[in-house]
Every structure is written in structure tokens, then in C-alpha cells.
Amino acid sequence: MEPLEIIAEASGRISPTFLNYQIGSEIEVILYHLLKKLGSTYRELFIISFQDAYHFVLSYVSSIYPGAGDVLRPDHLISINPFLEEALNPETIIKAKDAEIIAGRIHNRLSSMERPPGRRLFLILGLDLYGIRYPEELTQIVPLLSRTLTRDRDANVIVVFNMKAFPEHVVEVIDSFALNVFRFSVEVKRREIRRKFTVVRSPFLEYNLRSWYYTVRDDGLVFEPV
């Protein structure tokens, strides 16, 4: 399987999935192509956005791909502590610091919604931005959200998380709640800078700890084994 297919297949089997990245890895473009691949697989797309993260992802990807709005348009947008994102008219706005309050309100909102047949995809953005602002809440909200969203066996949960924004021991705690972990990093060798994708943990043992270099182009992504 090629790298995006590994993510798609792994997240479809077990959840949650963490996409750990560092600045420069173009995670926004990765998300765009991943959602294009997953689009027909799920009946509903939920985006849970902390601290305006969805607004920034949408703005960046739309500057590269004019039609990105159609791919990144959620069926349901839940915004936590938004400012700029309020202009997008989120279906649900939660303004709170406490992890238990946020998780509780998300649970109540989901419980009150009609459930059409089919699978649901939950994409969580900006959890790192929330953690930077409220570091004492970060290690609490991850397990709370994981339990809340994975109660539905037909739900796929994908979390995007900036691993370089926190000490390694914090990232290890966060990753311990993920069943799939994929890393997008930037590697510098001599004068060459390359983007690198690594399968850290997945149900496909033959791919675990394997890596690919990738190039971001206007017409898509090109991967080559390390």
C-alpha cells in the first residue's frame, strides 16, 4: 500500500488515529489529499476545531487548491473557543477551558443528533493550540475525547497534533491513547531538507517503523521509500 492508503485503511479498522507533525511538513496538504481519499467512505464528516484551527487549515489549503472548500467542508462543525471561525457559522460553539466541560458538551450534542445510517468521520484540529494555551488540560482532554467519540463503533477519529510544540514525555502520554500513530517530520541532511513520513504504530505490522520521503506538488504528493 502507498502511505495515504495505509492511513486510510488503518484508521478504518481501529481508532483513534494520531497524525503527529512538525511545522514545514505541510500537514494541511496531507489532510486535503487524505480527505479526498476518504470522502466516499463516510456518511458524515465532523470537524472538531480548537482555537480557530479549521479556519487556518481551510485558508491555507484553499490558497493552493481553489476547490479545497468542497473537500474540507464538514457536515457538522464544532468550534471550541473560536474567534475568526465564528464567521463560518459553526453548528456548535463551545467556549470553555475545562476539559470535562468541553467533552461533556460534545457528548451531549452528539447524543441529541439524529443518527443516519453509515459511518462517521471525526477530524480533530487544533488540540495542540488548545494545549499550548491550557497545558494543564491537555492530558485530560485527550482520553475524554477518545472515550466520547469511539463509543460509536462506526466512528473513525483522526487527530492532528503538533508533536514539536511539547516536550517528548508529553507527546508520549498523548500517543498512548492512540491506536494508530503516523509521523510527518522534516529531516535536514547537510544542505538538503526533506519531508519524511513514518508509520509508528498501525495494525499492519509489515509497515510499522517504515518511512518514506515525500514531495508536495501542485498536482499531488509523491512518496519514495527511505
203 to each of 28, 75, 163, 181, 206, how far by Cα in Å? Answer: 25, 29, 22, 10, 9
pTM here?
Answer: 0.95
CATH number of the domain to which 31 belongs: 3.40.50.300
Task: Give the pLDDT mean for 124-141.
Answer: 95
Query: What pLDDT band is residue 118 in, cutting at 50, 70 and 90?
Result: confident
Task: Give the pLDDT mean for 178-184.
Answer: 96
In the predicted model, is pLDDT for residue 153 greater than 90? no
Measured CA to CA, the distance from residue 199 to residue 176 in angstroms comes to: 15
Question: How many structural domains are present in the chain?
Answer: 1
Among residues 7, 15, 51, the alpha carbon closest in space to that of 204 is found at 7
Among residues 146, 129, 113, 107, the alpha carbon closest in space to that of 55 is found at 129
What integer pLDDT is reported at residue 154 of this predicted model?
82
Task: Give the pLDDT mean for 195-219.
Answer: 95
Query: What pLDDT band is residue 117 in, cutting at 50, 70 and 90?
Result: confident
Measured CA to CA, the distance from residue 183 to residue 163 in angstroms comes to: 9
Q: Which domain holds residue 69?
A: 3-225
What integer pLDDT is reported at residue 218 of this predicted model?
82
Annotate 5-32 with DSSP letters as a single string: HHHHHHHHHSS-EEEEE-TTS-HHHHHH
62 to each of 30, 73, 87, how far by Cα in Å? Answer: 13, 11, 16
Query: What pLDDT band is residue 116 in, cutting at 50, 70 and 90?
Result: confident
Written as one letter, the residue type at 45 is: L
Written as one letter, the residue type at 38 is: L
What integer pLDDT is reported at residue 28 of this predicted model?
97
36 to each of 33, 67, 73, 188, 201, how far by Cα in Å? Answer: 5, 11, 11, 30, 23
Is residue 61 within 8 Å of residue 72, measured between CB atoms? yes
Is residue 78 within 8 Å of residue 106, measured between CB atoms? yes
Task: Give the pLDDT mean for 163-184.
Answer: 93
Task: Give the pLDDT mean for 195-199.
Answer: 98
Question: pLDDT tens, 36-53?
Answer: 999 888 999 999 999 999
Measured CA to CA, the distance from residue 191 to residue 187 in angstroms comes to: 11
